[in-house]
């Protein structure tokens, strides 16, 4: 169980729930935020993703007591924000755009309790190898693109697409664990066996 105040996860993402479990934190409640996720005119990707996380947290904090954890992840190609594809055709178009080039994944995290809120934004850069039409078609047919920014999930089959990454793997999945653990600790919620990511 999580030590400290009541924790509310403002997300229906099973990936974020699994990531929290990795560091021994289990939310007391899950309450997805219902907000308009349309980017504003001329809004930069960094401003957009930070606003989304903050608005999700503020929305849920109005209805839920305790500490609210919200996050938003977006994929950025150049200055173009690649959200969740509407259908398989858009997912394929995103993958063709990302094929053979670098792109950024931005994940913003907001932790809020009452009027107090803290924020972090983590940027990770990835490079996809060139993808063939057959690879793109097979990935789209797998359905893994559904509900995922940029039309791919790095924790699944798309791991084979990215030979190079600089930044946080868990941020690309949907929640940067090291930064999130520090934010939660500042609100009195501690992982039972230390905080942060580990690896070799």
Q: How confident is the model at residue 3 (pLDDT cuts 50, 70, 90)?
A: low
Q: How confident is the model at residue 200 (pLDDT cuts 50, 70, 90)?
A: very low
Give CA separation, 176 vs 2, 71, 108, in Å: 18, 9, 9
Domain count, the chain: 1
Q: What is the pLDDT of residues 73-124, one digit of tens each?
A: 999 999 899 999 999 999 999 999 999 999 999 999 999 999 999 999 999 9
The Cα–Cα gap between 195 and 23 comes to: 7
- Domain that includes residue 168, residue range: 7-185
Residue 196 is assigned to a structural domain of this protein: no
Q: Which of 3-7, 120-124, 184-188 has the lowest mean pLDDT?
A: 3-7
CATH number at residue 153: 3.90.950.10
Contact assessment for residue 81 and residue 51, using Cβ atoms and an 8 Å cutoff: no
Above 70 in pLDDT, residue 15? yes
Q: What is the pLDDT of residue 196?
A: 44
Residue 190 is assigned to a structural domain of this protein: no
Q: What is the pLDDT of residues 120-146, one digit of tens each?
A: 999 999 999 999 999 999 999 999 999
Q: What is the pLDDT of residue 112?
A: 98
Residue 1 is assigned to a structural domain of this protein: no
Q: What is the pLDDT of residue 192?
A: 80
Residue 44 is assigned to a structural domain of this protein: yes
Which DSSP state fits 190? B
- 3 among known catalytic residues: no
The Cα–Cα gap between 198 and 13 comes to: 23
pTM of the shown model? 0.91
Buried b (16+ CB within 10 A) or exposed e, 162-175: beeeebbbbbbbbb
Q: What is the pLDDT of residue 4?
A: 74
Residue 200 is assigned to a structural domain of this protein: no
Q: What is the pLDDT of residue 193?
A: 58
Q: What is the pLDDT of residue 97?
A: 98
Residue 61 is assigned to a structural domain of this protein: yes
Q: What is the pLDDT of residue 199?
A: 41
Q: What is the mean pLDDT of residues 169-198?
A: 85
The Cα–Cα gap between 59 and 73 comes to: 17
Contact assessment for residue 74 and residue 82, using Cβ atoms and an 8 Å cutoff: yes
Q: What is the pLDDT of residues 43-77, one digit of tens each?
A: 999 999 999 999 999 999 999 999 999 999 999 99
**Annotated catalytic residue, options 3, 28, 36, 72:** 72
Q: What share of the chain is helix, strand, coil (3-state, %, to 5)?
A: 35, 25, 40
Residue 194 is assigned to a structural domain of this protein: no
Residue 42 is assigned to a structural domain of this protein: yes
Q: Which of 108-117, 162-171, 191-200 has the lowest mean pLDDT?
A: 191-200
Q: Burial of 3 by CB count in 10 Å (0-12 exposed, 13-18 middle, 19+ buried)?
A: exposed
């Amino acid at each position: 169980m999580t030590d400290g105040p009541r924790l509310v996860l403002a997300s229906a993402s099973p990936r974020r729930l699994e990531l929290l479990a990795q560091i021994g934190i289990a939310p007391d409640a899950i309450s997805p935020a219902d907000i308009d996720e349309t980017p504003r005119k001329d809004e930069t990707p960094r401003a957009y993703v930070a606003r989304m996380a903050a608005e999700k947290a503020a929305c849920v904090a109005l209805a839920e007591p305790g500490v609210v954890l919200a996050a938003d992840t977006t994929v950025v190609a150049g200055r173009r924000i690649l959200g969740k594809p509407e259908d398989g055709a858009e997912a394929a178009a995103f993958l063709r755009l990302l094929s053979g080039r670098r792109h950024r994944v931005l994940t913003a995290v907001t932790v809020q309790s009452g009027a107090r809120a803290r924020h972090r934004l983590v940027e990770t850069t990835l490079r996809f190898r060139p993808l063939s039409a057959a690879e793109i078609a097979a990935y789209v047919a797998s359905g893994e693109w559904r509900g995922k920014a940029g039309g791919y999930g790095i924790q699944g089959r798309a791991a084979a697409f990215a030979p190079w990454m600089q930044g946080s793997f868990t941020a690309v999945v949907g929640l940067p664990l090291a930064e999130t653990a520090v934010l939660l600790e500042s609100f009195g919620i501690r992982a039972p066996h230390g905080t942060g990511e580990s690896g070799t």
